[in-house]
Structure 1
């Protein structure tokens, strides 16, 4: 009886293997039509205001990069523990490093010229911790952060479309109550700007060294998992 079951299972597996793989549908035509619509809408926006067309093209370019790179902040912090891969985490660290160098140059040039330092220096307090925990729980349940959710909505993932709907509802709810949080919690929290605390050289080079340390720690984690 057991031998007959094994024979039947083998025959089924062989029949599955012998079936030809489903041919992938050629989507070049859809791509050409979509590209034409993108260009046409860009021309339409340019006739209204040039800056709208520029923002449209930047948004399309960023969306393309997100989709091809599968860039997601939630996956960057989740994958090292779930799959052992730190490739996305290292990409996030590199992105922060590039942004740090660029923004530091802009801010220091303003500081050297005696002008107000640009940038929104937000207070850090219990609201930051609570917001991070709530957002982290939601991101894990949704399977992605804001950028990852938008990218997957563009790929027609219905679960992420549902997550986007509640993302909007939650944002509207938070905006409605933001006045209370600002008056009672955020206003009393300290706003820490590292150059004011440590000085510009130590804050800048210390942040770069910290990011390099995190990058090599991520590399070590990758090699540790591979052994």
Structure 2
């Protein structure tokens, strides 16, 4: 080996050892985890003394947060990753979730409809207009700048990401502002569109089949997109 090569190897080795020495040892997080578990249990016991469903809401929220954190599930990443990294794994996971919820919620709603009861959620079938497209576009930009959707922001705040605290603060401000002005937007903008409920047009079975076909086509497109990116 030449003298220059030997010198370069020694320098890289010394630099690597220096980085190793500077690396801080990982903190033992087991005591923190035990403390958090105790706090969660204590709050659960207090909520369990109430006669309402607050304990159920508390447990559901904790479980959802745990699943989201372990799965790294984020709606923003499902739309962003295909452009940044070419990966569509989260995109396909979201599509599978949409397919499952389509079948589940349709079964629940159809059960109410068949028994002559008011279909739950009908109040959320809002008109579609140009405002929907503009709002979705602005919301998408906001999610990318913030680095996460609502669930992703809450998850990262729990993980200790300080920058997400800023996103959460403005998320809260925007939510209050939107709720305050929603009446005006509904009267002058939203109500000008047209409400579309697919079962009214295609029937309950037809609506499910059409929606699942659209999801399937998007899933196939996501697989092909990732393959094309990998080949390039």
**TM-score between the two structures when normalised by the length of structure 1:** 0.91
**Aligned counterparts of 2:151 and 2:84: Cα–Cα separation in 1:** 20
| Greater Cα shift, 171-180 or 105-114 | 105-114
Please say if 1:190 is aligned against 2:194.
Answer: yes
Measure, in 1, the Cα distance between the counterparts of 2:11 and 2:37: 44
The 5-angstrom pairing of residues 1-227 of structure 1 reads 10-19=9-18, 20=20, 22-49=24-51, 51-119=53-121, 120-227=124-231
- 1:221: Cα distance to partner? 1.8
In 2: Cα distance, 1:132 partner to 1:90 partner: 20
Give CA deviations for 1:187-211 in whole Å, capped at 9, x if unaligned: 2211100111122222111111211
Aligned mates of 1:79, 1:23 — CA distance in 2:
32
Cα gap change, 1:187 to 1:32, in 2 (>3 Å): same
Structure 1 residue 118, shift from structure 2 partner: 1.9
Aligned residues: 224
Between stretches 85-94 and 105-114, larger displacement belongs to: 105-114
Gap regions ≥5 residues in structure 1: none
RMSD: 1.9
What is the TM-score when the length of structure 2 is the normalising length?
0.89
SS in structure 1 of the partner of residue 53 of structure 2: helix
For residues 8 and 80 of structure 1, do their structure 2 counterparts lie closer, same or farther at Cα, with a shift above 3 Å needed? Answer: same
* CA drift at 1:7: 7.2
How far apart in 1 are the matches of 2:14 and 2:36?
A: 39
Instruction: Assess, with a 3 A threshold, how the Cα gap between structure 1 residues 208 and 17 changes in structure 2: closer, same or farther.
Output: same
Distance in 1 (alpha carbons) for counterparts of 2:11 and 2:33: 38
Cα distance change, pair 112–48 in 1 and its aligned pair in 2 (3 A): closer
